[in-house]
Amino acid sequence: MKKNFVFYACIFILLLINTLNSEETHRDYKNDEIFILKILLFRGDNIHLGFSGKMNVEAGENKKDYYDSIYIIKRKNTVLINNNEYYVPIRISADISSAFFSFNNKKYRGCFIVDMEKDEMLLINQINLEEYLYGVIKSEIPSSWPSEAIKAQIIAGRTYAFFKKKLNKNQKYYLESTTAFQVYGGYNSESFFTNQMVDITKGIIITYQQEPIEAIYHSSCGGYTEDAKDIWGRDLHYLKGIYSDYCKNTPIFKWEKILTFKEISDMLNKKLKISSAINHVSIGKTINSRRVLTILCMDKNKVQHEISMKDFRLWVGSKDIPSTLFTLKNEKNRVIFKGRGYGHGVGLCQMCSKEMALIGKTYEEILI
């Protein structure tokens, strides 16, 4: 039987939110602390925040109102806001809960926290879980995809965010807004349709042994998903590798990249100070004879250099070497990489999810 991925888990309504009848016992998704996330947007020395109206700035007992925009500058142990000095952390909020802040040409819901970490100023967006998802989903998959695939992505994204909040509950923030976590683009990344799908699936997460799972996903598995243990050394029962070819007819299922020996030599010289020219490349360690863990680069002096694929992909570019599921061939003065899939291969394959939805599978069938 073909399966998209394995989350040996059950789906349930978070905190039974949809089964409660009493108005007094309904949890408040907008303001209840359990649903509030802290997302790191920026590290640096200078921040410009815009807002149409009045902003409330609070730092302990120090409170002041500002209008339209503020400039925040890092000092040694404090920050300046429009030339007024504050100790961190600072909370910046608005009188109107439906209003938007602007930062780096993007609009954001919620409020902001300014803090310090390792001599860097942090800008953190504090926002409720559901509104955070509004700004995530269209950044991760197209809003034109089938609704069941979008629902599956939303539930995976919600579960991942909830998992990270529990994991990082004692940290200054729970997630970052980059591909290292989930891509979060704020209000600019929202669409009416995906927001509707978030509302329809409100509160649904995936659990294993009554706990939210680490709901990992990637673009295309290339025919096989992988064990989390083999990729990251974490033995997670619900993230096991399986065969799956739903994505076989999608544009990113197969790829090819050609690198010359000179390009590889120049790269290794720059990154590892290897000055001898490379004249042969072969596959080193693999996972189940499929995904490549290391490659072997032999120089003209017959010295073999073992390079991790994590580093090699980082140096070449993940768009050029989209996955570690490939074969390679030395030909004259170049190496031809022929591979399948896009991403690390653990968890939900997004392209499989789309194809499953196109043939009528529900989000429950995609996720389980």
The pLDDT score that the predictor gives to residue 161 is 96
Of the candidates 116, 125, 124, the one whose C-alpha atom is nearest the C-alpha of residue 75 is: 116
Cα distance between residue 229 and residue 70, in whole Å = 46
The pLDDT score that the predictor gives to residue 23 is 40
The answer to whether 16 and 69 have CB atoms below 8 angstroms apart is no
DSSP string, 54-119: EEEEEETTEEEEEEEEEEEEE-SS-EEETTEEEPSPEEEEESSTT--EEETTEEE-SEEEEEEETT
Give backbone dihedrals phi and psi of 221, rounded to 5 degrees, phi first: -85, -15
pTM of model > 0.75: yes
The answer to whether 239 and 214 have CB atoms below 8 angstroms apart is yes
Cα distance between residue 117 and residue 122, in whole Å = 7
Q: For residue 308, give the DSSP letter.
A: E
Cα distance between residue 61 and residue 9, in whole Å = 46
Q: Of how many residues is the chain composed?
A: 368
Token match 């083999």: residue? 230
DSSP-derived 3-state class of residue 196: helix
The pLDDT score that the predictor gives to residue 21 is 32
Along the 368 residues of the chain, how does pLDDT read in single tens digits? 344 444 434 444 443 332 223 343 344 555 567 789 999 999 999 999 998 888 999 998 899 999 889 999 999 889 999 999 999 999 999 877 667 999 999 999 999 999 999 889 999 999 999 999 999 999 999 999 999 999 999 999 999 999 999 999 999 999 999 999 999 999 999 999 999 999 999 989 998 888 899 999 999 999 999 999 988 888 988 899 888 889 999 999 999 999 999 999 999 999 999 999 999 999 999 988 689 999 999 999 999 999 999 999 999 999 999 999 999 999 999 999 999 999 999 999 999 999 999 999 999 999 97
